[in-house]
Each structure stands twice: as C-alpha cells, then as structure tokens.
Structure 1
C-alpha cells in the first residue's frame, strides 16, 4: 500500500517534465509537491466544513482546488512560470481569508504562510530576486495582519481549534521534511551526474584519460598488495590520420565511436577500458596473466578488423588496430612503467606491419 502511494506521489511530483539533470528540476519538484499538499489540505478543510456546513470554508477551499488544478495543468503544458507564480498567490489568499474571517489567530492557521516563504526561497531563481522579495514581503505582512487583526476564533469550538492547531503543525513539519528531502536528493543526484560527466569521454562514452589512469593506479596497487598478475594494453587505430584526411573529421569521430563501442562489448566484465587520447585507448586487465591477455586482445583485434563501419553516406571505412601488451613484474614499482612497456609493445606492433598484437620486448618470455 505504502509502496503504491509512494509511486503515485512520485509520478505526480514529476508531472509535466522528465526527471533529468536540468538546473530547474529541483524547483519543479517543489512546485508540484506544493500543489499536492495544497490540494490535500483543501480537501481536508472541505470535509471539516460539511458537519456543520460552513459555507465560507467550503467554497474558498473548492475554488482554491479548482485554481490549483489549473496551475498543475499549466505546469504540464510547459507554462512553468505561471504555475510557479500561481502557487504562492493561492496559498496567501486562502490562509489570509480563512484566518481573518473565520479561524482567527488563535488557530495558528496563519503559520501556513511559512510554506510560502520556504517555497519562494527554493523555487525562484537568483534572476527572479524581485519576484521572490515581493512574495516574501507580502506573505510576512499578511502574517502580521492575521496575527493582530483577525478574529479570536469565535466560530470555532475549543476542540476544533486544538485540532486545527495540531493539523497546522503537522502540515508544516511534513512540508519542510519532504522539501528538504527533495533538495538533498536532488543535490546527491546532481553530484553523481557531475562525477560521471567528469569521468566520461564525451565522444566515445568510455572512461576519459583521468578516470582510466585512476583505474590503472587502483588495479596496480591491488595487484601488488595481493600478489596477483595484471596486464595493461595500449590500443591504437591504424592509419587514423589517413581516415580523417580521406573521409573528414566527422567520419573519424564516427569511427572512434564505433570502435569504442565494440571494444566495450568485447572485453571481459572485469576489464577496464578508457580513451587515452586521440585514437589511443587503454585496456586494463586485472587478475590476468600474459598468455590469457594475448588471447583476449587477439580476439579484440580480429573483431575490429571484421567490423563493418558504414557512414550515413554509404561509405564503408575499413579499420584495424594495433595493440601493445605489458604485464606487471616484480621489478615494476609504478604503474607508469607498465604503460611505458605497453607503449613499447605498441611500437613493435606498428613496426612489424600493424593490425597485430605485440608484447613489450621487455617481457617477451611472458609472466
């Protein structure tokens, strides 16, 4: 039951927009949640006003619900600015009217204007400072008006007054709790998204140079501590400059994207791959001995050589890769030494005709 309520609430909060990483997503969450809370409160007031029937409370609440649905529809249709502004106006009008002419200051109903102040600081952006200031100022003045000029609750029995006071407290507590949770969740999501962006190569979608070198440090350290084998490979596209010169840089980027995607699908789940720079990639193979690494890389080489890359103009671009390998050894003290050795293997593969896998000359006997 609670799970279905949570899912329904989440759908309503996301009404009118996709839950992406745009700057104003958090504000939209708060706008939709504020409308939900407002409508729920209006329904409760209508129910409370039925026995005995209290026309002013019933009709004010009914009109507020109708206007709130208009605000939600504006948000759904993409008129976010209208929905954003209508919410505090409705809240201020409802609270002021009912406090001044029915509930009185002793009910504490005017403390719901705190919703408006919190809403304004979260929802309105820095460039909307004037609007934010007006709404905060008006809501503060209305609060003082309700506190000092309203009736003394002559229409409420003591029990109803106490009930309303408790309800106001819980509404304020729930609103602030959920809004704070929405803001914190959004911050965590944004931080995670930014971290992924900072570690991803924009063109290929693989780990970028910084991330793959950080992975190399971790894999090297784990291998040394646990006395396990690991192999680093440097992969380079053959004659890539010729591809750019012949077919254009757009085609070159297309080739890089296709090759990167194929590499990601061919390597093992435990392996790490990233773009080292230009047309070079690094593949890190933890818990792997050199003969096994040679088999994996040879499979990758054959896969890329048989890959059919066709541009949107119907041009088929042949692609091959050269791969240099180097394993960890007792003499190695830094991960950069393995990469330097793998680069020697890549140079040997290029020198011997390209489209091949070559082990660094420093490790020809294996590991």
Structure 2
C-alpha cells in the first residue's frame, strides 16, 4: 500500500516538473501549443494513476483527483474540462466494477466543485481553505461508497484514514511546491525589473531599451523611428527648486511617457533628463504626430513642486528614421543631432532630418 501511495506521489511530482518546464517556455509557445501540452500532460498523469491503484483491504483507489482539482483551482475551465473529458472517457473504456461511480464521484464531482469555488485570490487565501477544499472533494469522492458498495460503511471506516491522509499529504506537498515556484518566479521578475529598468523613472534603461528595439526591428514590418527627448532648462529648474523637485518632475514625465507606450512604442531613460523613444509607425509623419501628442501633454501639465508652487516644463525632440542598414548607434547620433537643432532653434519643438521629411514640424505651442 505504501509503495502504491509513493508511486502516485511520484507521478504528481513528475507532473509538477513537466508543467514547470512548459511554463518556462510559455512566452515562446503559441497559445494552441501551450494548451495542447498542458491538456496532454495532465491527461497522461491522471490516466497513469489509474494503473497504479492503492489497495486498502482489497478496495482499489488512487490519487487521480489531485491533478484534476489542482488544475481546476490554479487554471480555468478551458484547460480543466478537456482533461476531465479525456480522463473520463479513457476510464470508462477500461470498464470494471465501480467505473461509473468512480467517474462521477471521483473525478467529475470534485473537479466541478473546484471550478465553482474558484477564487481570484487563490494564492492569497489561507492554507486552511485548501485543506477544506481537499476535504470536501475527498468526501464527495469516497462517502458514496457507503451507499454504492456492499458493506460500504465498513469499507469506508477501514480506508478513510489512510485515504484522507494520502490525499491531504499529496495535496500539501504539491501546494508547497507550487508556492515555492510562485515565490521564485516573483523574485526572478523583481530582479529582472531592477536589472532592466531605471531606478528613478522605472522606464527601460539604455541597454535593455536597445535590446528591445533590436527585437522589434526583426519582428515588425512597419517603419522604425528613434527619437531623443530632452527637458528644456532642466539645470535651471534644479537650481531654482532643488534636485528633489527635479527628480519628482522626471518621475511624473516618465508616467506621461508610459501612458503612450504600447507594443510598437517603447520609452527608455537615456541619462540625466534625456529620454529615448522607439516607434514602429507606417510613416514618418505619423511618428512625429505621435511625439507631438506626448509633447503637448507634457507642456500643458502643471507639475507640483510643493503645496504652494507649481511649474510647467517643455521638452525638445529630435527624430531619426532607423533604416535597415543603419545601426542603432548611428540612428541615436542622428536623432541627437536633430535634438541639438531643436535646442538651438528655441526649444519646445521637434526636429527631423531634412532628407526624411520635407518640412520641420513644430508643436502648436512653438508656432
């Protein structure tokens, strides 16, 4: 009996390792393949447990309920129901005494109950909730023995301690592993965020920004543009109100940039009061119009220094097209030259290369 329990537990642990491996490749997998792999993995695990029964005084049970309940609890019905259907059909083909009750009470009942009590805060709820859920599922699965099987009450009394302990033990081990992976993934994400983002503005740092842009150049079919943006008279602002106020304004401006970010618009902090912007747009004119919208919002925003003092700020922008045969560094240099022209010509405007657009577009406030 103990060997059979350990065999079922080994299947659960192997299932956890395979699922963990699949999740590591989640971002590189298409949704269809991810769905197929999860359904196939859980179905194989549940079906395998059917062939590794645990015998209690001649009565055969297994722990196939645990993968179904965990999948229902941590996932959704789209993944859970296919596994339930595949496992139930396979189990029904095997036939034998107790097949139908085993499917209804040992698989369908606990799984549908778990889907019904699914919580958004499944990771935050207390451990007692998980014990209660497994206990109720165990009761749904095993108590019908009393009415279905001859001498059912006697069998239930003989097996319920071992059966309940096996279910709780397996569920506890697996849940502990799930929590460990969740905490490890959370820590990994935190470390990646710190490594990839500027500590003050929380925008992408320069290195990560360039890495993201290189990926965008390979995957996207649109035209690619880089823009260098610089706050006007930022040194004067720091000298007047202090560096703390300057940092606060940088943070608020970064929040404005972040509002305009999407899959084809990325913003990074280049250094100091300079920002770098990537756009994937159909035309140069549309790229400039997008930048004008950002520039206008910054110009019209009142930045609070303290309770009694507020100020407006403006930015100057230089834009360059990122040609196919051009390196990122070359595009940055070109955008930086255009930024310098915007500064020299009075600030609060957008400058572009003369061979990329016929006329220099200025913001409404600069006209």
- TM-score for both structures, normalised by structure 2: 0.55
Counterpart CA distance in 2 for 1:240 and 1:9 is: 45
Question: RMSD over aligned Cα, in angstroms?
Answer: 3.3
Counterpart CA distance in 1 for 2:350 and 2:155 is: 87
Q: Which residue of 2 aligns with 1:141?
A: none
Distance 1:7 1:277, change over 3 A: same
Distance 1:2 1:262, change over 3 A: same
Counterpart CA distance in 1 for 2:358 and 2:326 is: 20
Q: Which residue of 1 aligns with 2:122?
A: 10
Distance 1:2 1:239, change over 3 A: same
Counterpart CA distance in 2 for 1:268 and 1:173 is: 43
Distance 1:210 1:168, change over 3 A: same
Compute the displacement of 1:197 (Å): 3.4
Task: Give the secondary-structure state (helix, strand or coil) at the position aligned to 1:285.
Answer: strand
Q: Which residue of 2 aligns with 1:209?
A: 206
Task: Give the secondary-structure state (helix, strand or coil) at the position aligned to 1:230.
Answer: strand
Compute the displacement of 1:337 (Å): 1.4
Distance 1:40 1:315, change over 3 A: same
Counterpart CA distance in 1 for 2:288 and 2:252 is: 23
State which of 281, 285, 292 in structure 2 corresponds to 1:291.
285
Compute the displacement of 1:294 (Å): 1.9
Unaligned runs of 5+ residues in structure 1 are: 16-31, 46-156
Work out whether residues 267 and 296 of structure 1, in 8 Å CA contact, stay in contact via their aligned partners in 2: no
Counterpart CA distance in 1 for 2:194 and 2:125 is: 24
1:178 aligns with 2:175: yes
1:359 aligns with 2:352: yes
Q: Deviations over 1:11-48 (max 9, x none)?
A: 7x534xxxxxxxxxxxxxxxx35x9639987xx99xxx
Unaligned runs of 5+ residues in structure 2 are: 1-112, 140-153, 360-367
Q: Which residue of 2 aligns with 1:314?
A: 308
Work out whether residues 348 and 360 of structure 1, in 8 Å CA contact, stay in contact via their aligned partners in 2: no
1:48-197 matched pairs, under 5 angstroms: 160-197=157-194
- Greater displacement, 207-216 / 233-242: 207-216
State which of 231, 237, 259 in structure 2 corresponds to 1:265.
259
